[in-house]
Chain A
């Protein structure tokens, strides 16, 4: 499910655009489409380049179409012009029942005149698009995955030429589909060179974003390939960010449930074999012995534990914090090693947290009197997909005028009350829920809020009052005669 669009003013526009594309909007023509699929484990990166030619003057809104299957796997979508860093605004129109595809529109920075061209690069990340095959592997066996895709790139426009390249991570490709009865081509449908399998070229494809095309012309292709790294799935991520002005501290706490989505371990785990493999330096491909996480610079008091206590096998290398502003690439590195090597089909859960200086993340706007805090949406776990994520931001007690800006719209969001150490009324807590986050989902959540001076004093006052009360009671108790009989 892609969510990389920025302007949520869809309703009015959708009324305008949808009839347009239903009638196969003829404002554009694709002179060429090249789709490159980088096969991976949990994540598959797909880059599609559309060479676009305008057929009308002032064409500025280009419509993308994703097939149902593709859409189900796609979790991140971004469109750019070739060679430019700027991300183009994208809008989701959802499912279009007449044509059976999902539609998105991209707004080109400059409207094209007739015969004007542009190269549009659309990057997507697919999750859960691969599956292990065979489904079980013994400890010594290699790991192979299968990837399914649709042969043709669907577009509401006419396409002159189209290719799909599927690039496997290694040259070991066990098999790939050689589709028969393919339209639009006379040559060999598929060629393989090294690790790359190329489908096409296909010529003169009519507007394909229609149910009819999908039913009659579309083909499925499958690639079966070797993958030498573990397929990591994070089933659940709970991230809590707690801002404390008194401690000038930002605490980040991540609870993760890891799952090795590679082939299930056939038979049992043998330590002897594992140690032999390690000794000869050829660990099993589907085994996850550990993972390196890049954490921000300047963190301290990091902790790493699971349900039974500290995991003594991990190491943290911290870097000092860098001054705000310049883009520094200093980072802390955590070498996470689970208690046991996580074999295919095994789970492992743990909690990882750290403290970092608040000034690395927070700023104060004197003109509005608001604090601004920007924290990363999540700690990126390379090559892993996060199935479910719940991200909470806990603001200081008494914070008011809370506003927050997320890089990707959340599935659900709410503000509740959270009571923790020595709070009297509790702190506002923002809870955001996401699904299928990938290593492309970087970006900061920004929160702005006001904290009145009185709220800062609340905690010390409450504690002081409590102690005063205790002393006062003790004082009176000592001075009042509680005996029943006077001596």
Chain B
């Protein structure tokens, strides 16, 4: 057989196997290193610090776990959160993340490596990203082969879609969840392939870990049943499926119920019913299979029909009845918002107010996945070619995750792994085809037309590799069963090819001839990989590596200037206020205040009590006179607002203000109305034209209090909204300015106590400033009647 280039022939198979295994290990460790290193931009550019909002709570909880032990953590009641309600932390969190860090912390300390718990928390996500790369390798290896696995590992290692939630310092549940997701799926595929109860149990154990770690476990809970159901519908029921699914479901469900936050949900909520239903269906199918071996086929037919109808009816009735009786909770709002993107905006403004719950914008697909997003469909199509059980899984996963990623930005995260897997399968097929030195057998020297050549080179990997492989007779070892689908798939593929290259009608031998063709495609392919790496590095360093607690700007001389207002103000609170001083702020900052300032807060990012949040919203959006009793009743000592008007920090409270109004309006529609905060023209303004309600609101007053004075008589400008601030700023009677950070981003106000003389604070204030009280009109002297 002619070869395009010569291969060494004097190597023993053992040498080849050993060398490739060594190379694989080296490649995997390099990929792990790259995955970890690319997540360290945040540490190098800033410092080893916990990012954003939720991670601060996780960090605080982990500190409790590390310092006081697991039982103390389990029974932790936090009286400082949701003041005065408190929060049962142990029962309202997914403890997997904290437990993981706690175990790592204790192991390291047992080995006399006294690593700070903060550093463990900061570096946990990069560490687990290396494990994710490994588990993606294992998963993809089951789909195609080791080389595809390595590609997939490299892709997931540096894909920005995953990095966005796993940079160093982003200490959130997703940090370990993606590893667990991929490993659970790997175990599931393995269990399904081998029919091994051991792997089924392993799936269940990692499923349990996943349940303990992330609320997104519901994705696995529905993916595996969906896969099993699809297999049954495709007529691929087997004892392997039965064993794998049953062992996963039985052990997984029981163990997942051990997590207090999940509790009885697996048997009582709609989200978990699919798994139960498929479990029942599997039993029935298996039972039917058993019955079939014992009765004649005619009898079996009638038994089958009647039982299908009866069981279906009974099942549906039971489900409906249980839902109606309240035994099974109906779909939650969060679930509806997955189907109707406008739902949350209408009914649950708290969910809609979070930016990561917004539908994904198209460019972000490219930003997060770059060229993977367009070879991803090719990979999915390639899965149709073989369509073993595990390929069905990837196809389903791809469909479901694509939909969810389109609905919600944060679910981009679940899409990324399957994109990496499918893209790796496609890319590796391309490389396989073009790296294979075997020249197609030609009876006569046929020179392929330059047109076809350039089409092969320029067209995306899918088309050319599909075409050549479909034509090549070498891929013949297929299961008999899959043959039908296989032919349809290749039919589809050849259709694709026909569309791509019009000159392929003849029966000429097809394939890749010569080194130049090969090197052209390979060169392009490596170019894509190279640009992918550059893109990932750029996006990671510029977009995803900001801690958001610390902001960076540039000095005139080009050096980095750090805007550290948040920590300045939080640390001031921590050092100079009484330990039990209650701080009110919008819920976004609750976790940070608890973590950095260590003070009780009214509301925080665990938005479980809408009314409480609405109370804060109401206080912020009402006048001082209305807000003051609310503040006093909640023992609020300090009120904290974020104001970006001076340096142009756009994520400030005035920009979030409408959400406060909306949420408050949801509870007090009579007192707070959103339209009152707009000008008659419908504009959102803070300048002279701002409506009275806006100007009188506590939030407005606290944001702009004495702001205009800073400009020393010149026109004060709010740099975020680009509007001119009224020269005479608002006055405050019920609050005192207590602290303002360097760039005015954080402003803290102290709530005044009631006047000791019993006056209302407004008149007391006026008295102190020496203003005379407006005299009530003296009684008109009665004129003498003449």
User: Which B residues are CB-close (under 8 A) to A309?
Assistant: 47-49, 550, 567
A312 (CB) vs chain B CBs: closest residue: B562
User: Residue B571 contacts which of A339, A421, A423, A466 (CB distance < 8 angstroms)?
Assistant: A339
User: Which B residues are CB-close (under 8 A) to A272?
Assistant: 706, 709-710, 740
Of the candidate stretches B408-416, B517-525, B572-580, B670-678, the one touching chain A is B572-580
Complexed CA–CA distance, A422 and B109 (Å)? 10
Interface presence of B356 (CB below 8 A): no
A271/B740 in contact, CB under 8 A:
yes
B112/A424 in contact, CB under 8 A:
yes
Smallest CB separation, B766 vs chain A (Å): 18
A348 (CB) vs chain B CBs: closest residue: B575
User: Residue B564 contacts which of A313, A345, A420 (CB distance < 8 angstroms)?
Assistant: A313
Interface presence of B738 (CB below 8 A): yes
Interface presence of A193 (CB below 8 A): no
Interface presence of A26 (CB below 8 A): no
Interface presence of A270 (CB below 8 A): yes
A347/B112 in contact, CB under 8 A:
no
Interface presence of B739 (CB below 8 A): yes
A340/B739 in contact, CB under 8 A:
yes
Interface presence of A419 (CB below 8 A): yes
Interface presence of A346 (CB below 8 A): yes
B568/A423 in contact, CB under 8 A:
no
User: Which B residues are CB-close (under 8 A) to A310?
Assistant: 47, 49
How does the 8 Å CB contact mask read for B185-197 relative to A, with 1 for contact and 0 for none?
0000000000000
B560 (CB) vs chain A CBs: closest residue: A312
B737/A268 in contact, CB under 8 A:
yes
B575/A421 in contact, CB under 8 A:
no
A339/B736 in contact, CB under 8 A:
no
B736/A347 in contact, CB under 8 A:
no
Interface presence of A306 (CB below 8 A): yes
Complexed CA–CA distance, A424 and B576 (Å)? 42
B574/A307 in contact, CB under 8 A:
yes
User: Which B residues are CB-close (under 8 A) to A275?
Assistant: 710
Complexed CA–CA distance, A270 and B710 (Å)? 11
A268/B738 in contact, CB under 8 A:
yes
Interface presence of B269 (CB below 8 A): no
Chain A's interface: helix, strand, loop or mixed, by majority? loop
Query: Do A268 and B739 contact each other (CB < 8 Å), given the known contacts A309-B567, A420-B112, A422-B112?
Result: yes
Interface residues of B in 85-126 (CB under 8 A from A): 111-114
A268, A312, A421 — most chain B CB neighbours (10 Å): A312
User: Residue A269 contacts which of B114, B562, B738 (CB distance < 8 angstroms)?
Assistant: B738
Interface residues of B in 678-716 (CB under 8 A from A): 706, 709-710
Smallest CB separation, B530 vs chain A (Å): 35
Query: Do A423 and B112 contact each other (CB < 8 Å), given the known contacts A307-B571, A310-B47, A339-B572?
Result: yes
B112/A312 in contact, CB under 8 A:
no
Interface residues of B in 517-565 (CB under 8 A from A): 550, 562, 564
Smallest CB separation, B119 vs chain A (Å): 12
Query: Do A308 and B112 contact each other (CB < 8 Å), given the known contacts A270-B737, A339-B568, A349-B575?
Result: no
Interface presence of A267 (CB below 8 A): yes
User: Residue A346 contacts which of B576, B706, B740 (CB distance < 8 angstroms)?
Assistant: B576
Complexed CA–CA distance, A214 and B95 (Å)? 69
User: Residue B113 contacts which of A269, A308, A349, A421 (CB distance < 8 angstroms)?
Assistant: A421
A420/B114 in contact, CB under 8 A:
yes
B112/A271 in contact, CB under 8 A:
no
A419/B112 in contact, CB under 8 A:
yes
Interface presence of B741 (CB below 8 A): yes
Complexed CA–CA distance, A268 and B732 (Å)? 14
Interface presence of B742 (CB below 8 A): yes
A257 (CB) vs chain B CBs: closest residue: B575
Interface presence of B636 (CB below 8 A): no
User: Which A residues are CB-close (under 8 A) to B576?
Assistant: 345-347
B114/A421 in contact, CB under 8 A:
yes
Interface presence of B224 (CB below 8 A): no
B112/A339 in contact, CB under 8 A:
no
Complexed CA–CA distance, A311 and B742 (Å)? 14
Complexed CA–CA distance, A345 and B577 (Å)? 11
Complexed CA–CA distance, A420 and B596 (Å)? 27
B705 (CB) vs chain A CBs: closest residue: A272
User: Residue B741 contacts which of A267, A271, A308 (CB distance < 8 angstroms)?
Assistant: A271
Chain B residues touching A, range:
20 to 34
B736 (CB) vs chain A CBs: closest residue: A268
A309 (CB) vs chain B CBs: closest residue: B49
Smallest CB separation, A469 vs chain B (Å): 12
Interface residues of A in 305-361 (CB under 8 A from B): 306-313, 339-340, 345-349
Query: Do A267 and B736 contact each other (CB < 8 Å), given the known contacts A308-B596, A340-B572?
Result: yes
User: Which A residues are CB-close (under 8 A) to B575?
Assistant: 346-349
Complexed CA–CA distance, A227 and B113 (Å)? 49
Smallest CB separation, B589 vs chain A (Å): 14
Complexed CA–CA distance, A269 and B596 (Å)? 20
Complexed CA–CA distance, A421 and B119 (Å)? 15
B738 (CB) vs chain A CBs: closest residue: A268
Smallest CB separation, A9 vs chain B (Å): 43
Interface presence of B404 (CB below 8 A): no
A306/B571 in contact, CB under 8 A:
yes
B568/A340 in contact, CB under 8 A:
yes
B744/A340 in contact, CB under 8 A:
no
Complexed CA–CA distance, A270 and B738 (Å)? 7
User: Which A residues are CB-close (under 8 A) to B738?
Assistant: 268-269
User: Residue A268 contacts which of B111, B571, B750 (CB distance < 8 angstroms)?
Assistant: B750
A310 (CB) vs chain B CBs: closest residue: B47
Smallest CB separation, B729 vs chain A (Å): 11
Interface residues of A in 407-425 (CB under 8 A from B): 419-424
Smallest CB separation, B406 vs chain A (Å): 37
User: Residue A340 contacts which of B113, B571, B736 (CB distance < 8 angstroms)?
Assistant: B571
Interface presence of B570 (CB below 8 A): yes
User: Which B residues are CB-close (under 8 A) to A313?
Assistant: 564
A271/B744 in contact, CB under 8 A:
yes
How does the 8 Å CB contact mask read for B571-593 relative to A, with 1 for contact and 0 for none?
11011100000000000000000
Complexed CA–CA distance, A340 and B741 (Å)? 8
B113/A339 in contact, CB under 8 A:
no
A268, A310, A339 — most chain B CB neighbours (10 Å): A339
User: Which B residues are CB-close (under 8 A) to A268?
Assistant: 736-739, 750
Interface residues of B in 728-748 (CB under 8 A from A): 736-742, 744
Complexed CA–CA distance, A310 and B50 (Å)? 12
Complexed CA–CA distance, A348 and B573 (Å)? 11
Smallest CB separation, B146 vs chain A (Å): 19
Complexed CA–CA distance, A423 and B736 (Å)? 54
B706 (CB) vs chain A CBs: closest residue: A272
User: Which A residues are CB-close (under 8 A) to B737?
Assistant: 268, 270
Smallest CB separation, B638 vs chain A (Å): 11
A345 (CB) vs chain B CBs: closest residue: B576
Complexed CA–CA distance, A313 and B564 (Å)? 9
Smallest CB separation, B194 vs chain A (Å): 13
Smallest CB separation, B110 vs chain A (Å): 11
Smallest CB separation, A295 vs chain B (Å): 21
A307, A311, A346, A349 — most chain B CB neighbours (10 Å): A307
User: Which B residues are CB-close (under 8 A) to A348?
Assistant: 575
Query: Do A421 and B572 contact each other (CB < 8 Å), given the known contacts A268-B736, A312-B562, A339-B564?
Result: no
User: Residue B550 contacts which of A270, A312, A349, A424 (CB distance < 8 angstroms)?
Assistant: A312
| 10 closest Cβ pairs, A-B complex | A271-B740, A312-B562, A339-B568, A347-B575, A310-B47, A308-B596, A309-B49, A268-B738, A308-B567, A346-B576
Chain B residues engaging chain A, CB cutoff 8 angstroms? 47-49, 111-114, 550, 562, 564, 567-572, 574-576, 596, 706, 709-710, 736-742, 744, 750
Chain A residues engaging chain B, CB cutoff 8 angstroms? 267-272, 275, 306-313, 339-340, 345-349, 419-424, 466
**Other A-B pairs beyond A310-B47, A421-B114, 17, CB < 8 Å:** A268-B750, A306-B571, A307-B596, A308-B567, A308-B571, A308-B574, A308-B596, A309-B48, A310-B49, A339-B564, A339-B572, A340-B568, A340-B739, A340-B742, A421-B113, A422-B111, A422-B113
Some 9 contacts from A to B, beta carbons below 8 A apart, are A267-B736, A268-B736, A268-B737, A271-B739, A310-B49, A340-B568, A420-B112, A420-B114, A421-B112
